[in-house]
Structure 1
Amino acid sequence: MMRPPPRLRITGPAPSRHPDGNSGRGGGEMARSDFRFHVPKRVRYSEIDAQAVVFNARYLDYLDIAMSEYFRTLRVPGGKDGLHFQFARTTLNYRKPIRFDEMIDLCVRCARIGTASITLAFEYHGAGGEDLRCEGESVIVNLAGIGAGSAPVPPAIVALFEAHEGRSLRA
């Protein structure tokens, strides 16, 4: 005799914790003003799923857009002759749906810098407001070269992030 599958228990979003220990506004998120950088993004038809909301894998695409623009703004050298970062870990906490043709702000900031790693905090908001849709963090590791092991984050790069964020970021 086959047993029925277990019932799923659906609850609200799990409480989160930001990388700098900020308990934020109840759920762990930071105030929008804690982010000095954001990039606007319009949701395209190709980014939504059958439920007419942004497909879950696109949240990582959005993180890549935000991080790339953040690094470009700070003039972090990349590419063939620049630094080489590898994602070590990313967590996403879904809060509310993002819908087709909606304008959203992709907010990102450097939360801390370790010896060879950088922790980025990010949030996605409805354009121009405190309308939190997703929050999370990514840890990226600096590599000694393409396919090589980890290497210390250069002091000049630490200085770029600290100047932009207005505080010490060393763990």
Structure 2
Amino acid sequence: MAREDFSFFHSLRVRWAEVDMQGIVFNGHYLTYFDVAFTEYWRASGLPTAMQQAEEGCEMFARKATIEYQAPARFDDVLDIGVRCAAFGRTSVRFVLEIHLGDQHLISGELVYVYADTTLRKGVPWPQEWRDTMTRMEKIAPEAA
């Protein structure tokens, strides 16, 4: 995706504990970066937090996470992590993420979450109010939502 396709970015500085002997980010940390950026995206949406969802008996569960490496991030880099809601299913939602260092695209990823009843551990339809909020945030065409 083009950087301009993202309406939300979260900045994060690479810490010493996240790099290997060559000073580049160890691959597993990119999922943590995605999670941090997604949490901030969700906070910005104003939708119910994980704790509020748990109280209501339905929560989002991670179903899939992918990472594609283009170039490494290094110690002390300040990364911009873009998050975008890309598509809805009946019970699921797909987010795409990208990590940039300035104008350089380093990492791409995808997170898929399923909304489920916590007692039954079974998917339930994503709330229409949430779809509407995401559609407004992302300017997704209603037919794609």
Percent of aligned pairs with the same residue? 34
> Could you tell me how far 1:114 is from its partner in structure 2?
0.6
- Find 1:145's aligned residue among 99, 102, 118: 118
Check if 1:108 corresponds to 2:92: no
Check if 1:130 corresponds to 2:103: yes
Check if 1:119 corresponds to 2:94: yes
Q: Structure 1 residues 146 and 72, CA, compared in 2 at 3 Å: closer, same or farther?
A: farther
- Find 1:80's aligned residue among 48, 51, 71: 51
**Structure-2 separation of matches of 1:144 and 1:102:** 40
Q: TM-score, normalised by structure 1?
A: 0.77
- Paired residue for 1:168? 141
> Could you tell me how far 1:146 is from its partner in structure 2?
5.6
- Paired residue for 2:21? 50
- Paired residue for 1:3? none
Q: Structure 1 residues 150 and 49, CA, compared in 2 at 3 Å: closer, same or farther?
A: same
**Structure-2 separation of matches of 1:50 and 1:144:** 44
- Bigger RCO of structures 1 and 2 (CA < 8 A, at least 6 apart): 2
Count residues with an aligned counterpart.
Answer: 140
- Structure 1 or 2: larger strand share? 2
Please tell me whether Structure 1 or Structure 2 has the larger radius of gyration of its CA atoms: 1
- Structure 1 or 2: larger helix share? 2
- CA RMSD of the aligned region, Å? 1.5
**Which residue identity does 2:116 align to in structure 1?**
L
**Which residue identity does 2:90 align to in structure 1?**
T
> Could you tell me how far 1:130 is from its partner in structure 2?
2.6
Check if 1:66 corresponds to 2:37: yes
After the TM superposition, which parts of structure 1 deviate over 4 Å for at least 4 consecutive aligned residues? none
> Could you tell me how far 1:69 is from its partner in structure 2?
0.4
**Which residue identity does 1:119 align to in structure 2?**
R
Could you tell me whether the CA contact under 8 Å between 1:31 and 1:130 is conserved in 2? no
Q: Structure 1 residues 147 and 132, CA, compared in 2 at 3 Å: closer, same or farther?
A: farther
Could you tell me whether the CA contact under 8 Å between 1:89 and 1:139 is conserved in 2? yes
Give unmatched runs, 5+ long, in structure 2.
Answer: none
Q: Structure 1 residues 100 and 76, CA, compared in 2 at 3 Å: closer, same or farther?
A: same
> Could you tell me how far 1:148 is from its partner in structure 2?
1.9
- Paired residue for 1:96? 71
